[in-house]
Amino acid sequence: MQTVQTAVREALVILAAAVLLALVYSGITQKGLFGRPEPPSFSSESEAPTTPETISIDEAEELFASGKAVFIDTRDELSYREGHIRGAIHVSLLDLPLRIESLKALAAEKTLVPYCNGTRCHSSMEFGGRLFAAGIPNVKVFFGGWEEWTASQLPTERSAP
Amino acid sequence: MDRESTPHGKVRAMRVHLQNPFLLLALRLLLGLAFVVAGADKIGDPAAFGVSIDNYRILPDFLIPIPATMLPWVELLCGLAILFGILTRGGSLLVSVLLVIFTAAAAAAIVRGLDISCGCFTQDPGAAALGWGKVWENLGLLCAGLILLYAGEGSLSLQHYLRKDTRADSPPAG
């Protein structure tokens, strides 16, 4: 029994030290828990010209209905297969360099609308930024993403496994 | 926990083998180094580790910064403790608990068909995909952790020498 007590006591000492160090480190470096990732801005005025426009759920719905846009799901593939905005294609950030030429061709006819999970994910912004940097101006990031889309009960579809 | 009370000779013999200081040192080097390396790799970039955790799709987004910040430090300190043989039982207990969680997470990810990398020793997204090999690897480390939890640090450890020193320094009882 004493062994167990010793082990638990020692474990708590290590755990406390680790948590303390982690908090101090995070506080000093501003990484991790106390990190401050810049919140992406929604207003188009404050945006630098190097980032693409972000659109609201209403604008996204309009674009969807007009058929002049291609939605790009930037989440992981499993999430995409489980459900995505109807007609959306799946391109992750990792795949982007390989697909950039075909996306350029696509952008000649349609607006590209990257989206990810919702306001807590940044891959759609990152994706849009990279498209923009690659010289594709016809990009609008749907920042509300999958969460807003499904909350509004707009058309979705699943992929066959 | 009473070692003498077992009637079974074989079990007693095995227990004696598990107390072998060289075996315990070897296990400590293996387990300690693995966790020092794993922890040190992640400490500098909690954001990248956060992405790795997120890939497992177990925790909700808002909780992820907590393990992303804390876990590398826990791993590092446990690794150092086990490596040097100070607070070995505590370190082994934590490491064993962590390994059970890691193994369950890895197995769950594989079963659910997630195509992700481990995020164990490197956060490079191009690293090899997570597979059953990782589960076996973890179970092996878990065995080492449990043996150390049971047997303690052994005589080839810092704690052993510290204890000897304090015993020599302290005035005789009575």
What letter represents residue B112's amino acid? R
pTM beyond 0.90, yes or no: no
What letter represents residue A110's amino acid? K
Please say if the pLDDT value at position B126 is more than 90. no
Chain A nearest CA to B13, separation (Å): 20
Letter string b/e over residues B96-107, b meaning 16 or more CB atoms within 10 A of that residue's CB: bebbeebbebbe
Alpha-carbon distance of B116 to B102, in angstroms, equals 14
Per-residue pLDDT band for B38 (boundaries 50, 70, 90) equals very high
Q: What is the DSSP string of chain A?
A: -HHHHHHHHHHHHHHHHHHHHHHHHHHHH--GGG--PPPPP--STTS-TTSPEEE-HHHHHHHHHHT-EEEEE-S-HHHHHH-EETT-EE--TTTHHHHHHHHHHHHTTSEEEEE-SSTT--HHHHHHHHHHHTT---BEEETTHHHHHHHTT--EE----
Q: pLDDT, tens digit, for every residue of A2-48? A: 888 989 999 999 999 999 999 999 989 888 887 755 444 444 444 44
Interface list for chain B against chain A, based on CB atoms closer than 8 Å: 1, 43-47, 50, 55, 57, 61-62, 65-66, 68-70, 72-74, 76-78, 81, 87-94, 112-116, 125, 149-150, 152
Which pair of structure tokens corresponds to residue B51? 């992405």
Task: Answer yes or no: do B92 and A7 touch at CB < 8 A.
Answer: yes
For B46, the closest of A8, A31, A78 (CB atoms) is: A31
State residue A42's pLDDT score.
44
Alpha-carbon distance of B83 to B24, in angstroms, equals 10
Please say if the pLDDT value at position A129 is more than 80. yes
Across A51-65, A111-125, A147-161, B93-107, which has the greatest mean pLDDT?
A: B93-107
**ipTM score for this prediction:** 0.85
Please say if the pLDDT value at position B7 is more than 90. no
Alpha-carbon distance of B142 to B138, in angstroms, equals 6
Measured CA distances, A88 to A84, B27, B48 (Å):
7, 51, 27
Find the largest Cα–Cα distance for chain B: 66
Listed residue (B147, B117, B173) closest to B24, CA to CA? B147
Collect all residues of chain A within an 8 Å Cβ-Cβ radius of residue B112. Answer: 78
Listed residue (A143, A15, A160) closest to B71, CA to CA? A15
Helix (H, G, I), strand (E, B) or coil at B172: coil
Please say if the pLDDT value at position B107 is more than 90. yes
State residue B165's pLDDT score.
73
